[in-house]
Amino acid sequence: MGRLFWKFFLFIWLGQVAAVIGTGTFFWLEREQSSMRADRPRPPPPDFEAHRPPPMEFDRGGPPHRPPPPGDKRPGGPLPIFPMIAALIASLLCAAGVAWYFAKPIRHLRNAFATAAEGDLDTRVGGAMGGRRDELADLGQDFDRMAERLQALMAAQKRLLHDVSHEMRSPLARLQAAIGLARQQPGRLEDSLARIEREGERMNGLIGELLTLSRLEAGVSGPLEKLDLGELLAGIVEDARFEGAAEQVGVDFAAAPGLFVQANPELLHRAIENVVRNGLRFSPAGTSLQIEAKREADGLIHLHIADQGVGVPEAELKAIFTPFYRGRNLATGDGYGLGLAIARQVLSTVNGKIAAKMKADGSAGLLIEIVLPAAN
């Protein structure tokens, strides 16, 4: 049993001991005073002298006895030792039970924290709380949620490290192959140098995306400014139409006037551009990407970006915002799987949200909804 148990036990038991002794002493003194008042002679009535009874009293067949003199004090009885001892024993058991009731779940929590500190995040204490409905049970549930969150973060970090190593391995392998080809075939040096340059740019882009994602996860978002979302979207749409023309993909754009947000211009531009370019990449030729921004009745700005591609299974709608994720239905492209993850982190810095949804009309494609708080 730990120190907390003995502290609870002593405090509760001493309190009950004091209550028992105080209550017993109070009743004993009360009985003593009542006995003294009963033995005290009362003043006689005015005609008492004319009808004074004889001083001696006789019982049938017994010796005579006199009433107690006026100054005699009879004790009210001995102090109730045995009832008080019984009460103390009962209080001892009660204090032990209450202390055990409070100390037991705390001991489970301590063991769980010790296990988690050693790296075992599978420990849960919710089941050990039984049917409790108090603050200690809430603390156990909070521990379980914390352990689940830490476990998810650790798994995400391991997966991120694995994905980064996988993404870096491919361009490094191609770089080594290009260097080997340049040594074996000096006549094709220009082709080898071009391949080396492309792979170097690819690695540089991947490292830049990773640095951006790590800064955003660390809370480094830069200064915020009041922006006209319509103007920012107009520049993104112009670039998207230029890129989509080569793939015969159009861009339909509509934005309500007076849409102002508080955000970092560069990061918000990059976040929305990542979503738009992702939609362009998976849009078939001859289709169009639809971009619409307006302020809804809830006072928030809603930005919808919808393509007409193969879409994403409903079970993967949340997973596409995790780093390096590529869905089963997505065509292979030149991206790293970091664009949507960066967009989610950027929007979270301005209290915004991003979600992938199926289209309400049931048509093919993916709908990305971005919700931003409007600036005053």
The predicted-structure confidence for 194-217, as pLDDT tens digits, reads as follows: 888 888 888 888 788 788 877 777
pLDDT level of residue 52 (50, 70, 90 thresholds): low
Report which residue type is found at 102: F
DSSP secondary structure letters along 234-246: HHHHHHHHHHHHH
> Can you tell me the distance from the alpha carbon of 325 to that of 341, in angstroms, rounded to the nearest whole number?
9
How confident is the model over 128-187, as pLDDT tens digits? 776 777 777 788 888 888 888 888 878 877 777 777 777 777 778 888 888 888 888 888
**166 in active site:** yes
> Can you tell me the distance from the alpha carbon of 74 to that of 191, in angstroms, rounded to the nearest whole number?
123
Q: Which of 51, 65, 162, 166 is catalytic?
A: 166
Is the pLDDT at 357 greater than 50, yes or no? Answer: yes
Cα distances (Å, whole numbers) of residue 364 to 254, 318, 330, 359, 361: 21, 18, 13, 7, 9
Strands 300-306 and 353-357: unpaired
Verdict on whether the full-model pTM lies above 0.85:
no
293 membership: H or E segment, kind and range = strand 288-295
Contact 95, 9 (CB under 8 A): yes
Domains of the chain plus CATH, in order, are 3-120 (no CATH), 156-217 (1.10.287.130), 225-373 (3.30.565.10)
Lowest mean pLDDT among 17-26, 49-58, 350-359: 49-58
pLDDT level of residue 61 (50, 70, 90 thresholds): low
